[in-house]
Chain A
């Protein structure tokens, strides 16, 4: 199925969880926050949150800034 991750269309396995999506991109969950369709997914819920086709996912982290 198709989902949009950080503005890019990505093909993922049907029913993939947020945690599995992060694993696929080799992203450590402790360093990011995730939004699914504008709703924050708490880190504790990453494994228990499956994605649906067409979901808009944002994965953000901290970067240098002032």
Chain B
């Protein structure tokens, strides 16, 4: 099996890395970074169209190849379940008959406040229920609380996406044991159930660590867009995703307190 392939709901991604589209210095740089990352799934936000000063009619979708990329609309910036549902439906409407794939799924993001940007669990759960009833395949951005994650899985989330650390903070996966417990418990019911670390990644080793824990994928944005050389970081993130997955599947050796020699003791000339 191709270890880079990731199935979420009815979609099959050819990379376990999902990348954002925000904060790039230019749309051209964004497009190039997407290509360098090896991802084929990018997430986009919904905002009011500008009525004046439209920058020469350039739209972000003109810099995303519909043949290559699956779009994942998100509800970034929503603070209530009502807003989430409204934005999700607008995203679906935009992608319907647009030539892009991704109309029937959404990254649910329901935030608690602007300072932490941490997910608000009650609104998240409420929004999930409505969106599932409405026919969406829902990828849920949530905290790394296993009880919440189990509940979201039971309510029909297509994937759960616990935060490694706060959005854009670059702190990496702050509580690997929480992620381990989530993986164990959610995959008991379904070994293929997708768990994706979303948010907080700072550099390639953060991605590797997450993947080595056994998560199915990583979603990130700022770590590439905010790097000194975004194009190079995009490539690093793609490689880290792959190498982390390979290492997870290969199975690491147990940690031991004392050394174990790699060379044989027998046949030493001074024995």
Contacts and interface: CB of A to CB of B under 8 A. Distances in A.
Contacts of B44: 62-65
Question: What interface size band does chain B fall in?
Answer: 35 or more
Contact of B94 (A10, A25, A31, A44): A31
B98 interface: yes
Given A42-B93, A43-B96, A65 B48 contact: no
A38 B30 CA distance: 32
B94 A64 contact: no
B22 A40 contact: no
Nearest to B96: A43
Given A31-B61, A65-B21, A6 B94 contact: no
Interface string A36-64: 00101011100000000000001111111
B49 A66 contact: no
Nearest to A58: B48
B208 interface: no
Contacts of B86: 35, 38
Interface in A20-37: 25-28, 30-33, 35
A28 B90 contact: no
B54 A32 contact: no
Interface residues of A, number: 28
B51 A8 contact: yes
B106 to A, nearest CB: 13
B73 A62 contact: yes
Nearest to A40: B93
A45 to B, nearest CB: 11
Contacts of B30: 64
A7 B30 CA distance: 30
